[in-house]
Structure 1
Amino acid sequence: MEQTIGEDSTPVSGSFDKSRVLDVKPLRCLVPVFPNAPNVSTFTTPQGAAAPFVCATPSGPFPNGVSPFYPFFNSSDSQRHPEQHTPASVPNQSAPPPFGFNSTTISNAVPINSFRTPSSATAGRNQSTGVANGNARSSKRMTRSRAQTQPQSSAAEEEEYADNQNESSEFFATPTTETEEKLTKSGRPRRKSRKRVSGGTSGQAQDINVTSSDATVDVLVEKIQASFSDAFRQTEGDRVSIEYLTMVYDLFRRRISQIEDVSVSGGNKRPDLRAATLFMNKGIRTNINKRIGSVPGVEIGDIFFFRMELCLVGLHAPSMAGIDYLTVKNSSEEEPLAVSIVSSGGYEDYADDPDVIIYSGQGGVNRRDKAMMDQKLERGNLALEKSTHRGNVVRVIRGVRDLNTQTGKIYVYDGLYKIQESWVEKEGKSGCNVFKYKFVRLPDQPEAFRIWKSVEQWKGGDTSRVGVVLPDLTSGEEKVPVSLVNDVDGEKGPAHFTYISILKYPSPMNVTVPSSGCLCIGGCLPTNSNCPCIQKNGDFLPYTANGLLVSQKSLVQECGPSCQCASNCRNRASQGGLKIHLEVFKTKNRGWGLRSLDPIRAGTFICEYAGHVGDPTKIDKFGIDVDDEFVFDATRTPQPLGVLPGDSIESSKLPFPLVISARYSGNVARFMNHSCSPNVIWQPVSRENRSEPDLHVAFYANRHIAPMTELTYDYGVVPDDEIDQRKRKCLCGSLKCKGFYCL
């Protein structure tokens, strides 16, 4: 049978028989690759009248009716920029993948050299800025990308990426374009501008607000840079630097959101991107060099609410794509190997098993431009295939749905996996060929995703759980039940106390400062400079639009009974009781403790300290009872853990001394233990109330907290002359444990 080059010339599955001689048609019979003048045949056009001669290179583009031919078609596609896609008009795009790709092997006919890294100069620049080396870029793009760009995102998504785990997007790099340089170096507010940002999978530029807000942002990032460089100037991270980096990043992101709520109409929809841009510009990151295996300082079970956080800690470099890889030397060739994947449910994956993931490759179907085509064995897909044969471990980050947002995800680091096998199958929705990879979790690792699956059942009322003493410790006092669990010993519960969810003041008690309240009928708006509640908070609302505390302060002024705003006003975040599923549990060596069944985002309100307020006139300098372990003294100075470098918590501005006893009556807060490296901060909160004092102590997450993690806070700083009387041995076990704490 005759075979024409350019028409079905792809080798069949299996090894390619180089001794075979094809019976081909003469060259004059080949399809011409010349542009035609309108309604004029290429060969009948008089000399000099035809369109200029153009030769189609092996890498295309190709006119209609002409397809790339072996061995150029795979190499050419791989050299394209990730955003460029083969036009739908090219024939044979729905054909099964070539090269005999089956469940375990791939033919040696794959031209590995089409996946070479850039030249040494380019590669060096990429290595220093964290750009993946798997994508070749044009010299023009690399020249201007000392200043690189932010990833594409949808402005409709609030504070989250609509990431498709398998999109072939560019890898995130340090954005330092001329516009951003002006923004970060300017010492004064600049007017709002629009910036064209490229990236993502479709290659289409998108308008993203680049807002020139207060010079405070620039000052803050400089202070953060100095603080981070002094303490953590190193190539590899450790646990302390990872915790510090992620905490400060989210604090900075929340501060940007607060500032731009006032300075930008409608606020900045993506403060996470701007914060990450500035951090990458200033080198505020760690674990810059890619590696196979574990990342120093990152622990299995760590959670992240933004893809940018994965980039900053070196866990996963691409801001959008689900596969991260590096190139390694293999004799005289280079080949890509996968280092990490994000499994976030973009395709028809199987990811419910805590030990096995069936993961789909990237590209092809499920694209933003709605085009449907077979996936290609290139970039991340090729890296996964090579890792299958090499047997190297791959980090797996699972994306699970964030129930508090419509489109958001929470990213859980689930440890190291190996690819057991791979194959091709047709994707049900599109009918296109998709690469599939079976990931199997390595044994003897701490549990992460398995805990998430168990917690889902426990919150659903699973009665078979071992160690449950009471399904609801509150007896219905809280809107959300609080379970009592002991799987350590036979103790049936803590000493008897009455559960109350509010703070009870003695009566009568005089109000020292009269309160007027606000008149914001529809709720306090950040741009309303006449709101007295905003004025009392330093001209900013203390909470972001989704209710996260921006920063720890000496006193937060919330709206209260004297205000006319609704109960869902942003400035009432600590009111309304528990919203998180908590449980009181028996610890191994510290009595009873408190933990959450829900993932908690940094800045989230957890609970307040309920109990009975002591009469300030009858409190000695040691509080109500120095031996009462359930006394909370709000006159102490809180450890400044929820503030940015350069900020500080001023000395107490409480309207009166507040000391609370929860010994006989209290809520879940009485069970929170001390830690020298806490994940919770306490914050005095005053609520506007004309008739009676309304001062409270609220607890907020200091950083992201994974489910089943114990909630702890620092009991606070006491005067030097009181330390000896209040000192107790500390058993928190943290890396920064001082050895003692003060009641």
Structure 2
Amino acid sequence: MEGSFGGYTDKTRVLDIKPLRTLKPVFPSGNQAPPFVCAPPFGPFPPGCTPFYPFSSSQHTPDLNQSQHQPSLVTTLRTFRSPPPPDNTTSNGDAVEPPEGSTVKRKIQRKRTPIAQNPNFSSGISAAEKENGDRKLVMSVLTRFDALRRRLSQLEDAKESVTGIIKRPDLKAGSTCMSRGVRTNTKKRTGPVPGLEIGDVFFFRFEMCLIGLHSPSMAGIDYLVVKGGGGEAEEEPIATSIVSSGYYDNDEGNPDVLVYTGQGGNADKDKQSSDQKLERGNLALEKSLQKNSPVRVIRGLKEASQSAKIYIYDGLYDVKESWVEKGKSGHNTFKYKLVRAPGQAPAFASWTEIQKWKKGLPSREGMILTDLTSGVESIGVSLVNVVDAENGPAYFTYSTTVTSFKLTQQPSYGCECGGACKPGNLNCHCIRKNGGDFPYSGNGVLVSRRGMVHECSPACLCPGCKNKVTQMGVKLKLEVFKTVNRGWGLRSWDPIRAGSFICIYAGEAIDKSQMQPAMANDDYTFDTTRVYTPFKWNYEPGLADEDGSEEMSEEPELPLPLVISAKNVGNVARFMNHSCSPNVFWQPVSYENNGQLFLQVAFFAISHIPPMTELTYDYGVTRTSGAQSLCGKKKCFCGSEFCRGSFG
């Protein structure tokens, strides 16, 4: 071979070879093979030719000659991105049984009904209510959303949900509520939104979408397209609301001034920074400046005591100025100065004040004691009075337990889980007592009200157990304060998420049969035998695509009547006042220790509770009749729209 010497080939030499395109094509003669035919991708295909992927899903390949005389057949086709069906399915995705003796690996998934196959579900919200809501409807929508989110979070944590992990239960719950019509205030508007109050807090962006406060689930600027002034056909955007991502530049630390950065310009198609453009949300804010149209402002904050960002509705702001300046990347960005409209209730300003209290500068006004528990609670409870000169409530002994109340039972040593208790593990004693479910989500939020929540025993071997929520004590910065007309009350410096544990009702357990009449009217007595106004808090099985027959009862199931007096011995729960529209509910919780069953009453948040909002629960009505019931009732000063007028 040329260029080869003794087995060595010189690869540096360029061979004189003509490209293939200069060669003449060679076709077979007529008697050797059928003529060359180019079949369309969807068929029909000539005899001897088979369709290739991704067109191989046709149910029938007609003969070339027959197709000229018969109508075309409807075939099931897949897109180029669709993979071929598995061996145990047909081309349209229907499952078929594998041949006898074969082994097929299957993923086990929880049976859930698709949205289109659940025609019996009704949101219960009329078309008019969806367009314009009120306070009651707004709170109902938020409660239903969070109940579904907690359930989806529970399924995510459960062992059987491994094959269908829901990474963001809030997004799944939000999209489900949106598609099922569990929403309100769909009519987009500027200014206030019906049913919303300044200071309302949200833990998820989708909550604001469902109640019409801020429609986009991602974008920071929401706007409305209206008729412009240049002609009948001309339209222009006007801003309705903005969500700040954190602490923006403000005027000398004034919480009522916000300097907001426009949207866009962070990344174009080439993932490079670019100048922001005066379009969409940026143009809408500019038009709001020109038209003096107010904009709703939602502040996004990061609390040290919370694992996620919190959003607070701070009311209406006016756009006062706009300008362009160079950003950190050197590109032009739009800046808008917004000033809070006067005469509104404080919201973000109160939040910033609380942060100063936590740092000790300045000190809390009206502070009597920085910690009335004297170190019993891991987080101090403040005692404050800015109403009158009273120096504090009557003396009592602070305790975090229910004394003199134990139910003897068979010896129990707790579960023996090497790691954490796993949902669905019926070999775990603690999980089995809760019906196979884990009562709390991963962040300690109660999933559902139930007859009894069974927590793990202190003797359980699992490290870092998440099923001892009420046994870990108060985790909020609470404050006992003097009210105007209801004595002492309780509130929190921290925002409280719906389902979060607040405290237990500590005190002395009393035998119901030995209660004296004076004790029954005691302001510091909690009686589980009273009649409490029922309310719906758990998720709806129909909304979660589950069988409605498995709906969990929310009525408490106590082994015997439990009455607790906190007059002489108690904790912060003794200061919670009654309300006919409470934001806190009680839940019986039990746990085992040293062969005994301990029973206690725990309080959880019904809804998201903003900071400095009084914590209240329903005291219920004593099970008496006639004149005795009238003597035992007390006048109610809760001020609720749905106040019953009395309680006790």
Compute the TM-score of the two structures, normalised by the length of structure 1. 0.67
Residues 614 and 624 in structure 1, CA contact (< 8 A), matched pair in contact too: no
**Partner in structure 2 of residue 448 of structure 1:** 347
Quickly say closer, same or farther: Cα 1:650–1:386, change in 2 above 3 A: closer
Q: Does 1:325 align with 2:253?
A: no
| Worse-matched range after superposition: 459-468 or 709-718 | 459-468
Q: Which residue of the other structure, out of 273, 278, 288, is the alignment partner of 1:377?
A: 278
Which structure's CA Rg is the greater one? Answer: 2
Alignment RMSD: 3.0
Would the alpha carbon gap of residues 686 and 351 (structure 1) be closer, same or farther in structure 2, given more than 3 Å must change? farther
State the SS of the aligned residue for 1:434.
strand
The residue number in structure 2 matching 1:433 is 332
Q: How many Å apart are 1:403 and its aligned residue?
A: 2.6
2:636 to 730, 735, 743: 730
Cα distance in 1 for partners of 2:411, 2:113 equals 33
Q: Tell me which residue corresponds to 1:542.
A: 439
Q: Secondary structure of 2:393's partner?
A: coil
Residue in structure 1 matching 2:603, options 699, 704, 708: 699
What does residue 421 of structure 2 align with? 524
Identify which range, 413-422 or 463-472, moves more after superposition: 463-472
C-alpha contact (below 8 Å) 1:594/1:671 kept by paired residues? yes
Shift of 1:345: 3.1
Question: What's the secondary structure of 2:471's corresponding residue?
Answer: coil
Alignment correspondent of 2:462: 565
Greater mean alpha carbon deviation, residues 231-240 or residues 330-339: 231-240
1:623-659 CA distance string (max 9 Å, x none): 8821211111234465435334575646542233321
Match of 1:682 among 576, 580, 586: 586
In the alignment, which residue of structure 2 is the partner of 1:315?
213
Q: Count how many residue pairs are aligned between Structure 1 and Structure 2.
A: 529
| 1:488 is the counterpart of 2:402 | no
Q: 1:336 aligns with which of 231, 237, 241?
A: 237
1:517 Cα deviation (Å)? 2.3
Q: Distance in 2 between matches of 1:351 and 1:290?
A: 34
Deviation (angstroms), 1:234: 4.6
Structure 1 residues 457 and 650: CA distance shift in structure 2, 3 A: closer
| Cα distance change on mapping 1:450 and 1:586 into 2, 3 Å | same
**What are the ranges of 5 or more consecutive residues in structure 2 without an aligned counterpart?**
1-91, 94-104, 541-547
Q: Cα deviations across residues 477-524 of structure 1 (Å, max 9, x unaligned)?
A: 111011111111111111111111222226xx5515654521123221
The equivalent position to 1:398 in structure 2, one of 294, 299, 302, is 299
Give the counterpart letter for 1:579 in structure 2: K
2:355 equivalent to 1:461? no
Q: How big is the shift at 1:219?
A: 12
Say if 1:720 and 1:649 are closer, same or farther in 2 by CA, change over 3 A.
farther
Q: CA 1:591/1:360 → structure 2, altered by over 3 Å: closer, same or farther?
A: same
Partners of 2:290 and 2:219 in 1: how far apart?
22
Q: 1:438 offset after TM fit, Å?
A: 0.3
How far the C-alpha of 1:712 sits from its partner, in A, is 0.6
> How far has the Cα of 1:311 moved from its partner?
0.2
Structure 1, residues 288-310: CA drift from partner, whole Å, max 9, x if none? 01101000000000000000001
Q: Is the 8 A contact 2:470 2:504 kept in 1?
A: yes
How many angstroms apart in 2 are the aligned matches of 1:714 and 1:220?
39
Secondary structure at the residue paired with 2:637?
coil
Q: Give the corresponding residue for 1:643.
A: 538
Distance 1:693 1:214, change over 3 A: same
Change (3 A) 1:660 1:253: same
Structure 1 stretch 311-320 or stretch 514-523: which is displaced more?
514-523
Q: What TM-score do you get using the length of structure 2 for normalisation?
A: 0.76
Percent identity (aligned): 52
Find the partner of 1:712 among 613, 616, 625.
Answer: 616
**Residue-by-residue CA offset, 1:507-560 (whole Å, 9 max, x unaligned):** xx5515654521123221114232121111121010001110001111100001
Sort the Cα spacing of 1:278 and 1:422 in 2 relative to 1 into closer, same or farther, 3 A.
same
Aligned position for 1:420? 320
Candidates 178, 182, 185, aligned match of 1:287: 185
When residues 413 and 297 of structure 1 are mapped into structure 2, their CA distance, relative to the original with a 3 A threshold, is same
Work out whether residues 351 and 358 of structure 1, in 8 Å CA contact, stay in contact via their aligned partners in 2: no
The 1:345/1:461 distance shift into structure 2, 3 A limit, reads closer
CA contact (8 A) 1:364 1:374 kept: yes
* Kept in 2: contact 1:563–1:688 (CA 8 A): no
Distance in 2 between residues matched to 1:614 and 1:236, nearest whole Å: 49
Question: Contact 1:624–1:631 at 8 Å: present in 2 too?
Answer: no
Which amino acid letter does the alignment assign opposite residue 471 of structure 2?
Q
Is the contact made by 2:268 and 2:274 (CA closer than 8 Å) also made in structure 1? Answer: no
In structure 1, the residue corresponding to 2:284 is in which secondary structure?
helix
Matched position secondary structure for 2:223 = strand
For 1:345 and 1:465, the matched residues in 2 are separated by 25
What's 1:277 paired with? 175
Q: Which residue of the other structure, out of 249, 256, 263, is the alignment partner of 2:145?
A: 249
Change (3 A) 1:597 1:537: same
Mapped contact 2:151–2:539 kept (Cα < 8 A)? no
> Residues 372-392 of structure 1: CA distance to partner in whole angstroms, max 9, x if unpaired?
111111111111111111110
